[in-house]
Amino acid sequence: MIRRWQLESGRVSDIIKSKKLYEDLVEFHWRYYYELAFQRRRIREELNSSLRNVAAAFQFSGWQRVVKYKYSLYPLSAKGSLIGPGGRFNVGAIDPTRYPMFPALYLAADKGTALAEVLGRDKDVGSLTPEQLALTKPDSISAVSVTGRLDAVVDIRTPGNLFKFVSLIKDFKLSKSLISEARRLGWSLMLITTVAELKTVMMLDNWRNWPMLYDVPAGCQIFGGTAVDAGIEGILYESVLTGKECLAVFPQNFLNSSSYVELDDPVPSDDVRTRIDSTNFADFI
C-alpha cells in the first residue's frame, strides 16, 4: 500500500500574487531609502561636521583580525568586505549602479569576538557562547594580531557622540504617498528621533535583511557611508554577539594621515603585506 502525504498546496494565482507583493515591497523600500537620502543630501555638510567634531584619535594593540583561509596572504585587505551585501558599516555589491560600494577593515579587541563576528551569526544557543559556536564551524580561517593608530575615530558607544547627528535628522519627513503605501503593505515606517533609536538601528542582528531582501543599504551601512564621506577613519562599536569592542576601519581615508594598521608577528612569506598607511592604502581597497 502506497501512502501519500500532501506537503504543500496552492494555486498559480497565489504565486503570482506573492511575486507582485515582493515586487511592491522592493519598490517601496527603494522609495523609502531615496526620500530619506534626498533629505540627508541637503544637509550633507552638517552631518559630516557632526561626526568630525566628535572624532578622536584611537590607538590599539594586540587586536585581532580573522579572515577566511583563502585570504591568508592578504590579512589586511579590505576588499573582501565588498562581497555580497557588504559589512555592517560598509556597502558591498547590493546594486553598484545605485549605491556606490566602499570597503571597511573589521577588527576586534580579542580573538573570541573576531571569530564570532566572522563565523558566528547566532546568539547564545543553550550553553554555548557565540565564540564557542564559531569554533564548532568547520571553516578554515586565519587569525592575526594587529596594532595601529587612527587619527579620527567615532565611538558610537558614547551617546553624546551621536546627539548632534540625531538632532539633524530627527525632523525628516516622509511623503503622504509613501505613508499610504506602507499602510497598504502592512509595513511599519520608522524615522529616527533619538540617539537610542539610532543605536538600535545600527546594531540590529538582522541588518542584512534590507540589502539582501530589498536591495537597499541598511541603516548601519548608511551611517558608515556618512562617516566615510566625512573623512572618518574608523567606527568603534560593540559586537552584538559578545559585547566586546570592534572597529570598522576605512583605509580609503588614510590619505594625508598618520594613521596605520600593521601586523604584530613575523609573516610566513615576503608576499604578505604587513602594514596599511597613507603610502599604500590604495593597494588594500
- Tens of pLDDT, residue by residue over 175-202, are 999 999 999 998 889 899 999 999 999 9
Parse the chain into domains and list their residue ranges.
Answer: 12-284
Contact 284, 78 (CB under 8 A): yes
Give this prediction's pTM: 0.88
| C-alpha 185, offset from chain centre | 27
Residue 277 has pLDDT above 80, yes or no: yes
Contact 251, 234 (CB under 8 A): no
- Taking the CA of residue 189 as centre, how many other CA atoms within 13 Å lie in the half-sphere pointing to its CB? 22
Contact 145, 262 (CB under 8 A): no
The enclosing H or E element of 134 equals: helix 130-135
pLDDT in tens, 135-184: 556 677 899 999 999 999 999 999 999 999 999 999 999 999 999 999 99
How many residues in the chain? 285
- Taking the CA of residue 253 as centre, how many other CA atoms within 13 Å lie in the half-sphere pointing to its CB? 24
